[in-house]
């Protein structure tokens, strides 16, 4: 049941200029879509807004209809304690299994937890090793 | 009435020898007509020490002076007309140099000839009386609107004089009226495709069969995209208002070169110095209208770059073929000493599936070095959400452009829909360099 453990990240292509992030988030706001985790990867004149939202399919559709270039990307969510060594244990687990992390971003939630969003080169192997550590995010992104 | 089920007029298949002797006869007439009736031409002839009687064989045309678009400015508005104003029954204008439009005029015979030439073209690509023809170019001042309009009526097709703009209505009418033939600029046709798709209408299910496209340079790859998008056969149309308008040359079913109507136009290809180029070499197209009563331009430099293609066409027409226009002699941009035609860039981009149908070239100067930046839109399908997508596309476009142009370019990816769509003629090159 690996599918269930995969989180769909919404990736949006935007030019790096004033107002573009506002344009994207306005569309989500209008539909009452909540952003749970968020980062921007920039490369000079343009960038990619990456986010995990509560209503993924709806977010994809509203952005696509608004004319944005958007795609869904498979990522993993890992839940760790918000304390020293949290990320380290995950990174080490993946390193030992020779899995490369392409990018990662995180946010804290509740009082003492952090959710780490991971994009890796071998997602099914990553699920396997992280399952063993019992750290994969099990809840729903809501 | 059509001459046969294949040809609109019998002149289309006139044996070559007869065509050439007809040309000579008409050349003599037009040279004398211009000399006798237009003071500007008489003066130019005298400056060159040439008299109409000196034209004895076809080759003698090279003794005559060229006419350029400057002549229109100098003789604005009616100074080039060779008949009294009361014999002119229509004028058209097109943009000229220094804000003065080029004014062109037609006698009743001129219109008759012109409309028959456009009808030849439309008949050649398969337009018949059963067709519904939607004419999506401007009717105001521009020759493209009325030129096609009257020719389609002459063939007996049902004409929808749609003009430009209001794209959603255009699409609705196509469906409601059962349009089978369209005439538009290629960039407007691509725009129609996008709008149709946004309305959840499949462009290839509209029912179109034939597309006539002109007024801006376009490539074979754009042809393929148009044909696939609308499920049509797309044909290149060439004309200029100084030579009546559309219908000067047009592709036949072979879609390989445009037949130029040699009984009405004398064709020359010249190099930068105005000397004839070698056989099959590219150069500027120079035309002399052989039957124009109102506006007998002698050796008019069109500014369009092309070459004459090999003889003999499977369609049976005896009129020579020119290659689709390669660029404008004056549109050519010189970047770091290298000649670049926007059509070359289009050609490269259309072969790269990752980029969209629209592009823009911006030229800037950084210190003393010219910089050329090509803005392209990325296609949705290739975006996977990774930065590497961009790098891969950018370097691919860069590499392909380098192969074609021999120039390093900056490639900028822009959001879909941000490159302006133009209805009439796409402004694809923005030159921001200061004068040196």
Instruction: Give the minimum alpha-carbon distance from A3 to chain B in angstroms, rounded to a whole number.
Output: 19
Query: CB-based contact (8 Å) between B200 and chain A?
Result: no
pLDDT, tens digit, 9 for 90 and up, residues B286-303: 999 999 999 999 999 998
Does one domain contain both A41 and A61?
Answer: yes
* B384 in contact with chain A, both atoms CB, cutoff 8 A: yes
Same domain, A79 and A61: no
Q: Answer yes or no: is A52 within a domain.
A: yes
Place of tokens 């292509």: A13
CB contact under 8 A, B385 and A45: no
Tell me: do A6 and A62 sit in the same domain: yes
Q: Where are the beta strands (DSSP E) in chain A?
A: 6-15, 35-43, 46-53, 69-81, 101-109, 113-120
Q: Are residues A48 and A32 in the same domain?
A: yes
Is B78 at the interface with chain A, CB within 8 A?
no
A52 and A96 belong to one structural domain: no
Confidence of residue B436 (pLDDT cuts 50, 70, 90): very low
Of A122-136, B18-32, B378-392, give the range with the top mean pLDDT.
B18-32
Tell me, yes or no, whether A46 and A92 share the same domain.
no
> Rounded mean pLDDT of chain B?
90
Do the domain assignments include residue B325?
yes
Mean pLDDT computed over B276-287:
90
Residues spanned by the domain of A16: 2-73
CB contact under 8 A, B413 and A45: yes
Residue B149 lies in a domain: yes
Mean pLDDT of B153-167: 95
Whether A69 and A86 map to the same domain: the answer is no
Answer whether residue A97 is part of any domain: yes
Measured between CA atoms, how close is B224 to chain A, in angstroms? 24
Region of B206 (left: φ > 0; alpha: ψ -120 to 50; beta: rest) is alpha
- A139 has pLDDT over 90: no
- pLDDT exceeds cutoff 90 at B46: yes
Please report where in the chains the tokens 């604005």 appear, as a residue: B76
Contact B265, B320 (CB under 8 A): no
Do B173 and B230 belong together in one domain?
Answer: yes
Check residue A142 and give its pLDDT: 56
Helix axes B220-230, B342-350, angle to 10 degrees: 50
Question: Which of A13, A73, A74, A120 has the highest number of chain B CBs within 10 A, making it the mutation to test binding with B?
Answer: A13
Q: Kindly report the number of other CB atoms within 10 A of residue A105's CB atom.
A: 19
Instruction: Give pLDDT tens digits for A51-64.
Output: 999 999 999 999 99
Q: Output the domain CATH number for residue A119.
A: 3.30.70.260
Considering the domain boundaries, does residue A50 fall inside one?
Answer: yes
Do residues B385 and B176 touch, judged by C-beta distance below 8 A?
Answer: no
* Residue B436 in domain: no
Pick left, alpha or beta for residue A67 (phi over 0 → left; psi -120 to 50 → alpha; otherwise beta).
left
Of residues B190 and B133, more confidently modeled? B133
Q: Which of B330, B365, B382 is the last residue of a domain?
A: B330
pLDDT tens-place string over residues B69-84: 889 989 999 999 999 9
Domain with residue B344: its CATH number is: 3.30.300.30
Residue B64 maps to which CATH number? 3.40.50.12780
Q: How far apart are CA B105 and CA B89, in angstroms?
A: 8
Task: Inform me whether the pLDDT recorded for A1 exceeds 60.
Answer: no
Q: What was the pLDDT predicted at B416?
A: 82
**How large is the ipTM?**
0.77
Q: Is A43 helix (H, G, I), strand (E, B) or coil?
A: strand
Asked whether residue B8 is assigned to any structural domain, the reply reads yes
Count of domains forming chain B? 2
If asked whether residues B314 and B280 sit together in one domain, one would say: yes
Same domain, A91 and A127: yes
Please tell me which of the candidates B391, B412, B417 has its beta carbon nearest to residue A45.
B412
Domain shared by A99 and A58, yes or no? no
Cα B69 to its chain centre, rounded Å, is 16
At A72 the pLDDT is: 93
B232 pLDDT more than 60:
yes
Look at residue B233 and tell me if it is in a domain: yes
| Structural domain boundaries, residue B340 | 333-431
Domain holding A51: CATH number? 3.30.2130.10
**B385 and B416 housed in the same domain:** yes
Q: B263 and B384, same structural domain?
A: no
Tell me, yes or no, whether B209 lies in a domain: yes
Cross-chain Cβ contact B415/A14 below 8 Å: yes
Q: What value does the mean pLDDT take over residues B208-233?
A: 91
């Amino acid at each position: 049941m690996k599918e269930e453990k995969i989180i769909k990240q919404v990736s949006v292509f935007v030019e790096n200029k004033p107002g573009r992030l506002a344009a994207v988030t306005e569309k989500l706001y209008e539909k009452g879509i909540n952003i749970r985790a968020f980062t921007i990867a920039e490369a000079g004149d343009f960038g990619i807004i990456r986010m995990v939202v509560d209503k993924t399919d709806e977010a994809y559709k509203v952005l696509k209809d608004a004319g944005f270039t958007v795609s869904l990307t498979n990522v993993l969510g890992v839940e760790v304690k918000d304390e020293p060594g949290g990320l380290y244990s995950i990174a080490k687990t993946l390193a030992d299994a020779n899995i490369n992390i392409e990018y990662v971003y995180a946010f804290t939630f509740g009082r003492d937890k952090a959710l780490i969003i991971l994009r890796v080169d071998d997602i099914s192997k990553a699920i396997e090793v992280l399952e063993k550590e019992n750290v994969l995010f099990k809840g729903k992104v809501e | 009435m059509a001459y046969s089920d294949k040809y609109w007029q019998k002149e289309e298949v006139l044996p070559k020898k007869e065509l050439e002797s007809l040309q000579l006869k008409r050349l003599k007439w037009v040279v004398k007509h211009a000399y006798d009736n237009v003071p500007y031409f008489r003066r130019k002839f005298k400056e060159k020490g040439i008299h109409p009687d000196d034209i004895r064989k076809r080759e003698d045309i090279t003794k005559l002076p060229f006419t350029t678009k400057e002549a229109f400015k100098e003789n604005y508005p009616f100074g080039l007309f060779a008949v009294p104003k009361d014999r002119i029954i229509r004028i058209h204008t097109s943009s000229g140099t220094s804000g003065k439009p080029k004014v062109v005029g037609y006698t009743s015979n001129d219109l008759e000839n012109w409309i028959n030439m456009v009808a030849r073209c439309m008949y050649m690509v398969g337009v018949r009386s059963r067709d519904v023809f939607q004419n999506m170019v401007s009717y105001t001042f521009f020759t493209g609107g009325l030129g096609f309009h009257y020719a389609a009526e002459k063939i007996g097709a049902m004409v929808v004089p749609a003009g430009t703009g209001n794209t959603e209505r255009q699409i609705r009418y196509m469906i409601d009226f059962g349009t089978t033939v369209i005439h538009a600029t290629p960039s407007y046709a691509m725009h129609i495709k996008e709008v149709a798709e946004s309305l959840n209408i499949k462009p290839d299910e509209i029912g179109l069969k034939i597309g006539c496209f002109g007024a801006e340079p376009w490539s074979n790859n754009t042809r393929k995209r148009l044909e696939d998008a609308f499920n049509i056969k797309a044909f290149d149309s060439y004309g200029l208002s100084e030579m009546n308008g559309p219908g000067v040359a047009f592709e036949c079913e072979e879609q390989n070169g445009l037949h130029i109507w040699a009984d009405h136009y004398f064709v020359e290809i010249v190099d930068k110095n105005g000397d004839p180029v070698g056989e099959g070499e590219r150069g500027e197209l120079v035309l002399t209208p052989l039957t124009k009563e109102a506006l007998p331009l002698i050796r008019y430099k069109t500014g369009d770059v092309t070459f004459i293609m090999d003889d003999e066409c499977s369609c049976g027409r005896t009129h020579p073929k020119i290659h689709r226009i390669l660029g404008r002699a004056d549109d050519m941009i010189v970047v770091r000493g290298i000649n670049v035609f926007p059509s070359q860039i289009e050609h490269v981009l259309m072969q790269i599936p990752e980029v969209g149908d629209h592009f823009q070239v911006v030229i800037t100067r950084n210190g003393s070095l010219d910089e050329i930046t090509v803005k392209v839109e990325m296609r949705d399908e290739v975006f996977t959400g990774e930065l590497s997508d961009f790098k891969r596309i950018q370097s691919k476009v860069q590499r392909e452009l380098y192969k074609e142009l021999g120039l390093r370019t900056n490639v900028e990816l822009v959001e879909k829909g941000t490159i302006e769509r133009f209805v009439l003629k796409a402004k694809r090159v923005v030159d921001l360099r200061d004068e040196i």
